[in-house]
Amino acid sequence: MPGTDPHIETLEPWVSVGVRNTVPMAELSSVFGPTYEKVAAAAGEAGAQLVGPAYAEYFGMPTDTVDVEIGFGVDRVADVPGCTVTERPGGRAVVATHVGPYDKLEESYAELMPWLEMERVELTESMFEFYDSEPDEDPATTVTRLVFPLA
C-alpha cells in the first residue's frame, strides 16, 4: 500500500490540550479554525507552550455526527480553563500518512481499512489525525498522519 504506508510504531508520551464536541459531520470543517484559536489562546494564557502539530481525536465511527476533540500538544500539564488536558501515555500505534487535500482523506481511510483488517490489530476506542502541514500550504502537498493507537 504505497499511498498511505501503514506501519506500527511506538509513540512517545505527550500532553494534549483540546476541546471535545459532538459536531454534525457537514459542519466539521468549519469548527476546526475557531476551536484551534480558542485552545491556543487558553493554553497561552495558562502558560503552556504548544508542541508539535495540531490534532483531532475521533471517538467511535462518525455517522451524521462526529465526536471529536480538537487541540494541540503542550509542553506541560497546566490548568487550561475551558479545555481538557490529558497526559497521553504513548505506546504502539498504527501510523499511516495522507498527502493531499483534507477533502480527500476518505480515500486514504478507504485504502487503510483493509490493511487494518488484514493485520487483525486490536485498536482503542479513538484515533487521531495529526496535521503536520500548515493549513495554508499547498493542499496537494498537505501531510496528515492517521494514528490508530493499539489496545
Kindly state the average pLDDT of the residues 66-71: 98
Helix (H) or strand (E) holding 42: helix 28-45
Query: At 118, which helix (H) or strand (E)?
Result: helix 105-119
pLDDT of residue 2 exceeding 70, the answer is: no
All three cell numbers of 100: 493531499
Closest of 130, 150, 93 to residue 18, by C-alpha = 130
pLDDT of residue 29: 92
Is the model's pLDDT at 62 over the cut of 70? Answer: yes
Residue entry with cell 506541560: 76
Q: Please state, in angstroms and rounded to a whole number, the distance separating the CA atoms of residues 84 and 18.
A: 5
- Cα(65)–Cα(60) distance, integer angstroms: 11
- Predicted confidence (pLDDT) per residue in 97-133, tens digit: 999 999 999 999 999 999 999 999 999 999 999 999 9
Task: Supply the pTM of this predicted model.
Answer: 0.93
